[in-house]
Amino acid sequence: MTIVSIKAGTGAELRRIELSDGSFFSFKTCYLPPVFTDESLCIPGTAEGRELSAAETAGFRFASTCLRAERAALRLIARAEQTVSGLCRKLERRGNEAACVRVVVSRLAGAGLVDDRRFARLWLETRLGRRQDSPRRLLSALRSRGIGREDAAAALQLVLNEDAELALLGRFIEKQRRLRGFCAAEARTEADALRSLRFSLKSEGFSPEVIQRFFDEQEDGA
């Protein structure tokens, strides 16, 4: 297999290549595998007529497949914020090779186009204003979307300041009271009910400081 022609594309890394078997396709040099130690194979005006090994031919085709996956990924990113795992899954469902998907998504993440912490922060910001969840349930929802534990926790800590957590706690209690009395039915006394409520809130991930602030404000308003 030989290179018939190779031309530069619109970007610094983009190339258009024609091979002696009649195939004609675009690729990005950044997606060429490590087998390409000879960079002159990608230089227009010097690579024409060069003989390619089977590994080099496969490498050009791999880079071309990665370019197609990248274009599909950028279309998805343009529509909505993506997670690393979610974008990989969507690209593979669209028929892109898993090996190419991993390379492409890793590069896009390195360029900041895919960011799990940014996704988690934006998702939390839209969720906190209109839902009655707890910190534990918010973390669980992020994990179910493919966000790692560390990234999910960091985003929650960034978004959920003390005032926001207090407001969330109040909404959460009201929701649980409407649904099932939030443990009050099992309590024999008011003191039992308060202890049960505190324990339940702590198990839902609310901080001790915010729980105490909530009860202090309830007493002040009584």
H, E, C per residue of the chain: CEEEEEEECCCCCEEEEEECCCCEEEEEHHHCCCCCCCHHHHCCCCCCCCECCHHHHHHHHHHHHHHHHHHHHHHHHHHCCCCHHHHHHHHHHCCCCHHHHHHHHHHHHHCCCCCHHHHHHHHHHHHHCCCCCCHHHHHHHHHHCCCCHHHHHHHHHHHCCHHHHHHHHHHHHHHHHHHHCCCHHHCCCHHHHHHHHHHHHHHCCCCHHHHHHHHHHHHHHC
pLDDT in the model for residue 214: 86
Q: Spell out the residues 6+ positions from residue 46 whose beta carbon is closer than 8 angstroms to its own.
A: 40
Task: State residue 197's pLDDT score.
Answer: 81
CATH number of 3-110: 1.10.10.10
CA 19 to chain centre: 38
Tokens of 195: 């202890």
Taken in order 77, 82, 87, 91, the sign of the CA dihedral is negative
Q: What is the pLDDT along the chain (222 residues), one digit of tens a residue?
A: 899 999 998 878 999 999 999 999 999 999 998 877 778 888 888 889 989 989 999 999 999 999 999 999 999 999 999 999 999 999 999 999 999 999 999 999 999 999 999 999 999 988 886 677 889 999 999 999 889 999 999 999 999 889 988 888 888 888 777 665 554 445 455 566 677 788 889 999 999 999 889 888 877 655
pLDDT of residue 37: 73
Closest CA to 145 of 124, 173, 174: 124
Residues near 102 by Cβ (< 8 Å), separated by ≥ 6? 88
Q: Which of 32, 2, 36, 34 is nearest to 19 (CA)?
A: 2
In this structure, what token pair is assigned to residue 57? 């031919």
* Alpha-carbon span 211 to 206, nearest angstrom: 7
Q: What's the pLDDT score for residue 221? A: 57
